[in-house]
Structure 1
Amino acid sequence: MENFKPAYLELQEKGTLQEKVKESLTRLEACDICPHECGVNRREGEKGFCRTGKDMIVASYSPHFGEERPLVGSRGSGTIFFSYCNLRCVYCQNYDISSGLYGKKATEDDVADMMLELQEMGCHNINFVTPTHVVPQILQSLEIAAREGLRLPLVYNCGGYESLKTLKLL
């Protein structure tokens, strides 16, 4: 891993990451981040199917050992669990989180700090759990964290109901 360079660092060097942040934040104004394409103005705090406005709600972040072995390694996957979801699965294994029963509002700076803290703890990666509905905010956080020294690979741990247009931003 010594020679590993995450693709987001190359995007940052080229200025492409900043363009992706700008494009994704604009898309929140008539939200089409997931296939529901609610069209609400999340930048103004309106909420669509995912029940999320402009702010990220983070249920928890920590080294996590409940993932697949290659992700966990010996020091854990640096998992950031986002509250709410663009799905409403009847048998959701993370219902308390996806329904928004747990979590605190987190700014882009807060999430960037979480990523850097998980890196300092020795986690092998940053694992975004239920990230779909907050991709623009995550990209903004990533831009900040990369500037501050983030060098870990990223895991996009989603439910699978994704917009191709959003995936192309990643």
Structure 2
Amino acid sequence: MLEGVVDIYMPDFKYGDYEKALRYSKAPNYTKYAKESLIEMQHQVGDLVADENGIAIRGLIVRHLVMPNNVADSKKVLEFIAKEVSGKAYVNVMAQYYPTFKAHQFPEIARRITIVENKEVLELARQISSEFRFAE
């Protein structure tokens, strides 16, 4: 329904694993639907295109939140983006995870991420696709 209407999509792809999406966000089938949505968005608008001033005018920007203890399964997320969406995707690797709401019920996510955890995900992204473009 949105084909030809939307110029820029900026979705989150949080979990690369079905069970973790269900456990931490109570989101059954999250990974399946996120993947389907990203493929469709890429089909509709393609890789990000910016004007001469660096302002985005069309395309897809995928946001991925780094989580403590690799709960997001960042490797699965980034590999999917590179192989199934675009090896030239614009990926916003986000380091601002903050434990709120019921995070205290899960010790593995009841803390902020470390600088090392964030750097590991950025390095992983660079290894997976040397053509990824980043917003950090």
TM, length-normalised to structure 2: 0.41
